Each structure stands twice: as structure tokens, then as C-alpha cells.
């Protein structure tokens, strides 16, 4: 593994602006092209930010950096920096080496939703960092969130649509990321884009035209599975003491009609 440390000295009072800039441009671009974010920290007085990235090898790091610099997000980020003016005062980076055995990396958990409206159209989004494809709305699960709460939050933030979930249509894992797809119905709201999405819309989607919209191979099975129209139950609960927070019954195959 190869690790890179970045340290930004932030202009006083501008940590929130930098955090937004980092999430939208720097983090999105690095992760899109193959880097893993180990952590993102600020000092108590909020004048410095420390960021640590992980790459499979030094060779992979060089290749990832080349892709990052060619990516449209890189130029968008540079343009945004010019508009923000002196967002940070100093920047430096170096290589760090693990000392001793390192704890196993936890898996990332993401959620997405196959959401339909009263016309049986499917809600799709196009993000800035995956602008080559449409996809189901969703995102990462934050610490302490249940999966259903995370998904409803992400969908509303990305599209302006409120939803009622019904069950889980599939679970997908690549070893470092677990992705859970839910089925649900829109319950209100107005379609709008966000800082993450450049386009959002309801589309009449079925197995015959899914490839016209979904261009990335890993997303296609998730959509095709959801199109079948059934889902399995899901529960969210807490313990000490036990309390059921939410239960989705799912939709059985025979209920599809």
C-alpha cells in the first residue's frame, strides 16, 4: 500500500467552505479514479486540515493522479478555487508509512433506491463525477444512521423527492463496499438538482431500455433486479433496550399485479 498525507492551512473562518469544496471536487475526483480516503481531520482551532489517502501501490498512485488531473472535476475544482479566492493559505503533502500491523479497513456501506411515481416511472439521477451514466439515487450511510433513514435523506438531498420505502431488492458487495438497493414510491416533493446531481428525472424504464440510461456495468444488475417488482423485508432497530424503529414488509412475487 502507498499512503499520501495532505495538510491544508485554512483561511480563518472558512473550514465549512473548504469542507464543501473537498467533498464536491477533491474527494469525489480521487475516489472516482481509484483512491481510498483513510481520514479527514481538523485541528481544535480549525486552522489546519489533515487528509490521508491510500493507494494499492506507488505505481497505482501515479496512474490515479494522471486520471485525476485529466478528469473534468479537476478543472471544475480549479475554476471554483479561483472564485473562492484564498480558501487556504498553504498546502503541503508527503508520504507516510504504516508502523506495525494496521487494523483491517471497515467496509463502506451505501444505499440506493428504485423509486417509482404514480405513472410507474423510475427516478434517476446523473451526478457530476459519473456524468457518463444515469443511476439510482442514493449515497453513503453516515455513522449512527439506519439504512432507510440514510436513503430517504440522500434521495431528498439529491432530487427533492420524498419517498416511502417498501423493501430490499438486492445486496451487492465488491469486498470493500456493500451496496443495498431498496424499492419505494415517491410521496411528494418537486424535482430539483443539487450540489451532487446535474440532472434528475423520472423515466419510463424497463428491461428493454435500461442500457440506454445505465451505462456502467455494476449498476445494471441492480436496476434489473429491482425492475422485477418484488422485495424482501427489512428491519431497523436499536438495542439496550430493544426497540423496533422501522419494518418494511417487502413485496412478494405473487403481489406484483
Domains of the chain: 2-96 (3.30.70.100), 108-250 (3.90.79.10)
Cis ω for the linkage preceding 241 (within 30 of 0):
yes
Separation of alpha carbons 95 and 103, rounded Å: 19
What DSSP character marks residue 254?
Answer: G
pLDDT of res. 214: 95
Cβ atoms of 165 and 112 within 8 Å: the answer is no
Q: 206 CB contacts (<8 Å, ≥6 apart)?
A: 227
Cβ atoms of 171 and 102 within 8 Å: the answer is no
Predicted confidence band of residue 98 (pLDDT cuts 50, 70, 90): confident
pLDDT in tens, 152-208: 999 999 999 999 999 999 999 987 789 999 999 999 999 999 878 889 999 999 999
Cβ atoms of 158 and 139 within 8 Å: the answer is yes
Cβ atoms of 27 and 36 within 8 Å: the answer is no
Separation of alpha carbons 231 and 71, rounded Å: 37
Give the helix/strand (H/E) hosting 247.
strand 243-248
Q: 117 CB contacts (<8 Å, ≥6 apart)?
A: 123, 185, 186, 202
Residue 253 has pLDDT above 80, yes or no: no
Average pLDDT, the chain: 90
Predicted confidence band of residue 108 (pLDDT cuts 50, 70, 90): confident
Strands 197-203, 48-55: pairing is: unpaired
Task: Output the CA–CA distances (angstroms, integers) from residue 132 to 146, 216, 217, in the order listed.
Answer: 30, 8, 12
Predicted confidence band of residue 257 (pLDDT cuts 50, 70, 90): very low
pLDDT of res. 101: 65
Residue 107 has pLDDT above 90, yes or no: no
Residue 99 has pLDDT above 70, yes or no: yes
In whole angstroms, how large is the CA radius of gyration of the chain?
Answer: 20
Average pLDDT over residues 217-231: 94
Separation of alpha carbons 53 and 197, rounded Å: 25
- Longest CA span, the chain: 62
Instruction: Give the Cα-Cα-Cα angle 62, 65, 68 (nearest 5 degrees).
Output: 155
pLDDT in tens, 117-162: 999 999 999 987 788 899 999 988 887 899 999 999 999 999 999 9
Separation of alpha carbons 119 and 229, rounded Å: 15
pLDDT in tens, 34-68: 888 888 898 887 789 999 999 888 888 998 999 99
Amino acid at each position: 500500500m502507498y499512503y499520501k498525507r495532505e495538510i491544508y492551512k485554512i483561511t480563518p473562518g472558512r473550514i465549512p467552505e473548504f469542507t464543501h469544496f473537498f467533498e464536491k471536487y477533491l474527494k469525489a475526483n480521487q475516489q472516482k479514479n481509484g483512491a481510498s480516503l483513510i481520514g479527514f481531520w481538523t485541528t481544535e482551532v480549525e486552522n489546519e486540515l489533515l487528509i490521508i489517502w491510500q493507494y494499492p501501490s506507488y505505481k497505482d498512485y501515479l496512474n490515479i493522479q494522471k486520471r485525476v488531473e485529466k478528469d473534468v472535476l479537476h478543472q471544475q475544482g480549479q475554476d471554483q478555487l479561483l472564485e473562492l479566492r484564498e480558501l487556504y493559505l498553504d498546502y503541503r503533502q508527503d508520504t507516510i508509512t504504516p508502523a506495525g500491523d494496521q487494523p483491517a479497513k471497515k467496509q463502506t456501506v451505501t444505499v440506493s433506491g428504485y423509486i417509482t411515481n404514480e405513472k410507474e416511472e423510475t427516478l434517476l439521477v446523473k451526478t457530476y463525477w459519473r456524468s457518463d451514466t444515469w443511476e439510482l439515487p442514493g449515497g453513503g450511510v453516515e455513522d449512527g444512521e439506519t439504512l432507510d433513514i440514510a436513503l430517504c435523506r440522500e434521495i431528498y438531498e439529491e432530487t427533492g423527492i420524498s419517498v416511502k420505502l417498501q423493501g430490499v431488492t438486492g445486496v451487492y458487495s465488491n469486498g470493500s463496499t456493500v451496496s443495498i438497493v431498496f424499492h419505494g414510491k415517491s410521496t411528494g416533493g418537486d424535482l430539483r438538482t443539487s450540489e451532487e446531481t446535474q440532472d434528475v428525472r423520472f423515466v419510463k424504464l424497463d428491461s428493454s431500455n435500461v442500457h440506454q440510461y445505465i451505462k456502467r456495468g455494476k449498476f445494471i444488475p441492480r436496476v434489473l433486479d429491482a425492475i422485477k417488482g418484488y422485495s424482501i423485508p427489512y428491519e431497523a432497530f436499536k438495542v439496550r433496550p430493544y426497540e423496533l424503529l422501522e419494518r418494511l414488509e417487502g413485496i412478494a412475487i405473487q403481489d406484483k399485479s
